[in-house]
Amino acid sequence: MTSMATTAPARAVAVEVEALEVDLVLEGIYRGYGLDFRNYARESVRRRLLRRAQGEGVASISALQERVLHDPRCMARLLADLSVNVTSMFRDPAFYQTFRARVVPQLATYPFIRIWSAGCSTGEEAYSIAIVMREAGLYERTRIYATDINGDVLEHARRGEFTIEKMKDYTANYIAAGGSRSFSEYYTAGSDTVRFDPTLADNMVFARHNLVSDRSFNEFNVILCRNVLIYFAPSLQDEVNRLLYESLAIFGVLGLGRRESLKSPGLERRYERLDPVERLFRRTT
Tens-binned pLDDT, residue by residue, of the chain (285 aa): 455 555 777 777 788 888 999 999 999 988 888 888 888 888 888 998 999 999 999 999 999 999 999 998 999 889 888 876 668 999 999 999 999 999 999 999 999 999 999 999 999 999 999 999 999 999 999 999 999 998 888 999 999 999 999 999 999 999 999 999 999 999 999 989 999 999 999 999 999 999 988 999 999 999 999 999 988 888 889 999 999 999 999 999 999 999 898 877 789 899 999 999 999 999 999
Give me the domain span that covers residue 59: 4-82
pTM strictly above 0.75: yes
Note whether 106 and 134 are same-domain residues. yes
Output DSSP code: residue 171. Answer: H
Q: Where are the beta strands (DSSP E) in the chain?
A: 113-118, 142-148, 161-163, 187-189, 193-196, 204-208, 220-225, 248-256, 271-275, 280-283
**Residue 125 resides in a domain:** yes
**Residue 33 resides in a domain:** yes
pLDDT, residue 6, reads 54
In whole angstroms, what is the distance from residue 128 CA to residue 14 CA?
46
Last-in-domain residue among 53, 82, 111: 82
Note whether 148 and 58 are same-domain residues. no
Note whether 122 and 228 are same-domain residues. yes
Strands 280-283 and 248-256: antiparallel
In whole angstroms, what is the distance from residue 79 CA to residue 152 CA?
10
Number of structural domains, the chain?
2
Note whether 197 and 252 are same-domain residues. yes
Note whether 37 and 103 are same-domain residues. no
Note whether 101 and 226 are same-domain residues. yes
**Residue 87 resides in a domain:** no
In whole angstroms, what is the distance from residue 197 CA to residue 202 CA?
10
